[in-house]
Structure 1
């Protein structure tokens, strides 16, 4: 172990003792062999207190590994400079020590590791504070919930936080180098430039402006501009921008609504005013000012009871106080003689700041009500239904005939709109809209409408509706007189149906005439010519046999046409009194498929049947059988040649209460644009490569219509065909369901 005797020179002693650096010598294990006297003013230890102790024991546990690593490294290197580490002072404080160790193990005068240490606690703490300050700044800048950016003194962007691109859709790279005026709406450029120059003069302040996003969208922002000072001069500005677009819109909406509300209140023809909790006027509309013959300005802010002391003992006075204490609205009437004779109907409402009052003079209404009482006495004796409603169409009175015609009592319709109870599923909505329009126009009118009695029975009413206007031209009542025109309407509909039937019959006759003239003429003329030729030909010749064969063919063709005529005529005659019965569709479909089973099996046809076993309609079973047979046979006849035939039969009930039968296939199909008008006519064929006379679809349509049904068809070439047949559950003759 070394001691002071090894340093005999007073010169070196003085230098070591008074040095600001801590000089010590350690062995390879880190134990102190020599400690300079300067350790005492820095760490508080006397030199002899550290001799023989290990330096690692005084080093903070988080820095010890670093110190040990340096000791290992110095064994192979000449010098190691260590970063600052924490060393425990005698008073228990941790001091930051910067140390350089030098390998002098081979020096005969030293034989150890020389450590030159310096206390850098103040420097480290200053640096930590600086880093902490920078961390706070970065957190405030980059993690701020609003957009924050920096402009240089020329107004160009230098930096921006992550919120900034979200505000205006420019990336940080795109924004750098741009001048702030490029983002400002032209109408705000002057104002924002002034604010920027104000910040350069050292004044922080806040303004509102309008900016444009990258896509040109306008955004309202609130901007706080703060100058950046460095050594007493402004080196740039920080800007904090917050999107207030929604706030501005809400503010504008509130102002607009307030303006609208004020306009509504001002447009009220009747007097209206508001009082605060001290009973002072806060609002007076022009109608109230006119009623009192005063200017609004001379009433606003004044106490109503001081302005009109005569009202203190009135019913109005007590009702106002009642509303103020209970918070519940009230309506009442009170006679007044000033400023003129009147009967006032008041409506008083509570508000957050006091009460609001609306009133009108009903003295004229009283006289009108008396007149209406006289009219109701007359109306109660008439056989027509009479309805009196208020201006909103709510029932105030009905006579006994109304109860008889509709089944509804006066109590059941009171304060209700008549249409709420009388209109139903089949009531024409265009008629309803027309009535509402005429009511709104406040003009007398008449209308006919289908309504429903209380028991659900349909009834046609002819109505005459007259508005009753008050002296100001406003509708105060409606008087409606209704007459039962059901029998008349039934006759009209029956005549209309008869005309429709005659039109159909006429078209059928035209088609039948065409059928006779075109389809009978050719075979008859052919047979007649052949018959005339036969006597002139040798009976034993081949020509005679050929002519005779052709004559037989013509006669056979003529016979087929006559049979078709009989079938059509029987259908036409039978349609007049066609007997209907409950027919199970599933059973009929099964019978037809079974009758075609041989062809179905031979051709590999797939039949998909989706018909409920309990699906029953009123129809002719024979007709239904023929319809199914014709349509399924057609599907087989006109199948596609390149794929197996699939026939699907479905049955369902639609929203109109009809049974919808769908028979579809994936056959050769037809071009509907070409065949649509000819499809159901006699002797029309659309597939020339198959046999047939062109009668089947004519019979199908005739039989469907005979059962009061209808048929539709949709077809696409090389895709398939779908027939839809609609039959009603109940086809009883009634003018309501025609």
Structure 2
């Protein structure tokens, strides 16, 4: 008997099964080495019923073992159970323990049993249960309806709630029924072939078919085969169903739209939710010169942009598309031949019943003729406004200056008529002659201004700027030498500009004589003539170190008629006014930078177009 017990203990140790015992006669408890190892206690640990129970995690877990041990001791009921313990080293372990009853003379004298560490097995079970819970959660809450079928007989073995919602059947009505309950009879052979490919050939396939609800309503669906699996020699098939009723309605609406769009003279371009073109009508293809192959699958309008296409408008269009908003605009586009055309475009997003973006529809038309008329009308309007402003300015000049001369002449004539002294009359006649000459000079300048404004459409001529400056220098040679001003001409020999030559002569003459008239007596005078090329114009700079102008005080009057700023006796206040009019008549402009007692720089912007 002893040998058998020793063999049993050795076998238990080898199997890592611990032995324990509670002696009810001596009230002594016993744990073998394996049991102590499971609880991670020291070899000299003295076990009692109480401290042994304390290893069991508090709560229902500990309450259960207490009840089982008490029933074993008091009622002789053996037990077997799985528990969670917290070891002496604070590690969580799962154990399986078995308790047997030992009798002597009909009395319970011992409770003896085994204990085994099943932590690894329990963790695997827990992980498995967690995965099962996850899969069930996915299975239950999936957007698609899921159906599991026994491949041998077509019986439905499981389904998710999405299928019950779609079909109108409860899960108890579906599970155990044949798959044909879900499909109209005329599609049975089609479904059978689909499942045959799934089962025998392992072909993954998606196809459209129809599902019949419990109420007999037929719904278009998309059916996809899932993975097949085997349990106990039985093969099961997984299939996914998706309601495509809304999509079918949208496709029908789209077909109607395409049919209507094909016959319209307006251009129609349809893009998907990402802005990629999927269709265009003939009017769009004819206007752009593109083929369907060139536009499908590409960003809408990507070949219609060119160097004059307004970037701000295209950016706003892009922002509207990203925001899924409507957008209206008129924009300059280019066809396949790089020819310009004005395009009036209306972009509208299309949504389904759940507010999901489906498409963008762009409807447009060629409005080049209308736009060109608008541009010409605006040009004429701007020209009319400019002419009106000039006319108002001119009428003000005429009214003010001619009236002044007229009043002066009238006054002199009255004095002469009333003067009896011949000597005084001669004196006043001399004054009358001067006043008449001044009136003639004023009229001459006014005629020159009229000539400039009337000849604003004279064609320009290409000239070498450096050569023209040399001609002006030669004409003013004596004046330049007398004033001892240094002319620094940095204009290259080959610089060509488009101007009205007579105006250029006048402009150069005025700017050079101004530099001489208003040179500073404090320093040796110079005039530097330079240039730079900008995108649409040539800028010519005339920089001097003369008296300068207080622009804060006189800035708005610099180019006015009869405006002088330094009190020179020979200053008429007409030169810069005429210069400004001549430059503007050639489509350019003039600007000034000046600091009093430092110098001035006049910049002439000549439009080269």
TM bucket normalised to smaller: 0.5 to 0.7
Deviation at 1:443, TM superposition (A): 4.3
Q: Which residue of 2 aligns with 1:514?
A: 396
Q: Equivalent residues in 2 for 1:58-137 (5 A)?
A: none
Q: Which residue of 2 aligns with 1:499?
A: 381
2:207 & 2:254 partners in 1: Cα distance? 22
Q: Which residue of 2 aligns with 1:640?
A: 520
Deviation at 1:398, TM superposition (A): 1.4
Matched, 1:588 2:468: yes
Q: Which residue of 1 aligns with 2:125?
A: none
- Which of 523, 538, 549 is 1:659 aligned to? 538
1:288 & 1:696 partners in 2: Cα distance? 91
Q: 1:365 to 1:625 in 2, by over 3 A?
A: farther
Gap runs ≥5 in structure 2 = 1-130, 147-157, 161-178, 180-194, 214-218, 228-239
The one-character-per-residue Cα deviations of 1:509-558 (angstroms, maximum 9, x if unpaired) are 211121112111222222222122224435642x3332122111111111
Q: 1:440 to 1:661 in 2, by over 3 A?
A: same
Q: Equivalent residues in 2 for 1:54-453 (5 A)?
A: 289-291=141-143, 314=198, 333-335=206-208, 342-343=221-222, 364-453=246-335
SS in 2 for 1:418: coil
Residues 431, 449 of structure 1: 8 Å contact kept: yes
Residues 345, 361 of structure 1: 8 Å contact kept: no
Matched, 1:623 2:475: no
Q: Which residue of 2 aligns with 1:554?
A: 435
Deviation at 1:724, TM superposition (A): 1.8
Q: Which residue of 1 aligns with 2:48?
A: none
2:226 & 2:534 partners in 1: Cα distance? 53
1:677 & 1:381 partners in 2: Cα distance? 61
Matched, 1:716 2:598: no
Residues 532, 539 of structure 2: 8 Å contact kept: yes
Matched, 1:484 2:336: no
Matched, 1:563 2:444: yes
Residues 519, 546 of structure 2: 8 Å contact kept: yes
Deviation at 1:362, TM superposition (A): 5.7
1:605 & 1:439 partners in 2: Cα distance? 64
Q: Which residue of 1 aligns with 2:549?
A: 670
SS in 2 for 1:396: strand
Q: Which residue of 2 aligns with 1:76?
A: none
The one-character-per-residue Cα deviations of 1:333-374 (angstroms, maximum 9, x if unpaired) are 4558899963268999xxxxxxxxx99866643553344234
Q: 1:632 to 1:345 in 2, by over 3 A?
A: farther
Q: 1:664 to 1:396 in 2, by over 3 A?
A: same
Matched, 1:603 2:479: no
Deviation at 1:633, TM superposition (A): 1.6
1:622 & 1:288 partners in 2: Cα distance? 91
Q: 1:476 to 1:690 in 2, by over 3 A?
A: farther
Higher relative contact order (CA 8 A, sep 6+): 2
Residues 611, 652 of structure 1: 8 Å contact kept: no
1:525 & 1:284 partners in 2: Cα distance? 108
Matched, 1:464 2:346: yes
Instruction: With the length of structure 1 as denominator, give the TM-score of the two structures.
Output: 0.51
1:284 & 1:599 partners in 2: Cα distance? 104
SS in 1 for 2:473: helix
2:491 & 2:589 partners in 1: Cα distance? 19
Q: Which residue of 2 aligns with 1:613?
A: 493
2:435 & 2:601 partners in 1: Cα distance? 36
1:583 & 1:283 partners in 2: Cα distance? 86
1:287 & 1:585 partners in 2: Cα distance? 85
Deviation at 1:416, TM superposition (A): 2.1
1:379 & 1:482 partners in 2: Cα distance? 11
Q: 1:630 to 1:474 in 2, by over 3 A?
A: same
Deviation at 1:485, TM superposition (A): 0.9
Residues 144, 242 of structure 2: 8 Å contact kept: no
1:441 & 1:431 partners in 2: Cα distance? 15
Q: 1:307 to 1:379 in 2, by over 3 A?
A: closer
Q: Which residue of 1 aligns with 2:426?
A: 545
SS in 2 for 1:677: helix
Deviation at 1:391, TM superposition (A): 0.9
1:682 & 1:664 partners in 2: Cα distance? 22
Q: 1:292 to 1:530 in 2, by over 3 A?
A: closer
SS in 2 for 1:376: helix
The one-character-per-residue Cα deviations of 1:36-82 (angstroms, maximum 9, x if unpaired) are xxxxxxxxxxxxxxxxxxxxxxxxxxxxxxxxxxxxxxxxxxxxxxx
Deviation at 1:484, TM superposition (A): 0.9
Matched, 1:699 2:578: yes
Q: 1:437 to 1:677 in 2, by over 3 A?
A: same
Residues 346, 359 of structure 1: 8 Å contact kept: no
Q: 1:650 to 1:562 in 2, by over 3 A?
A: same
Deviation at 1:422, TM superposition (A): 1.8
SS in 1 for 2:519: coil
Q: 1:441 to 1:292 in 2, by over 3 A?
A: closer
Q: 1:562 to 1:366 in 2, by over 3 A?
A: same
Number of equivalences: 419
SS in 1 for 2:331: strand
Residues 591, 602 of structure 2: 8 Å contact kept: yes
1:346 & 1:555 partners in 2: Cα distance? 108
2:544 & 2:563 partners in 1: Cα distance? 21
1:648 & 1:545 partners in 2: Cα distance? 50
Q: 1:344 to 1:415 in 2, by over 3 A?
A: farther
Instruction: With the length of structure 2 as denominator, give the TM-score of the two structures.
Output: 0.61
SS in 2 for 1:372: helix
Residues 344, 361 of structure 1: 8 Å contact kept: no
Deviation at 1:561, TM superposition (A): 0.4
1:319 & 1:724 partners in 2: Cα distance? 79
2:380 & 2:138 partners in 1: Cα distance? 65
The one-character-per-residue Cα deviations of 1:153-190 (angstroms, maximum 9, x if unpaired) are xxxxxxxxxxxxxxxxxxxxxxxxxxxxxxxxxxxxxx
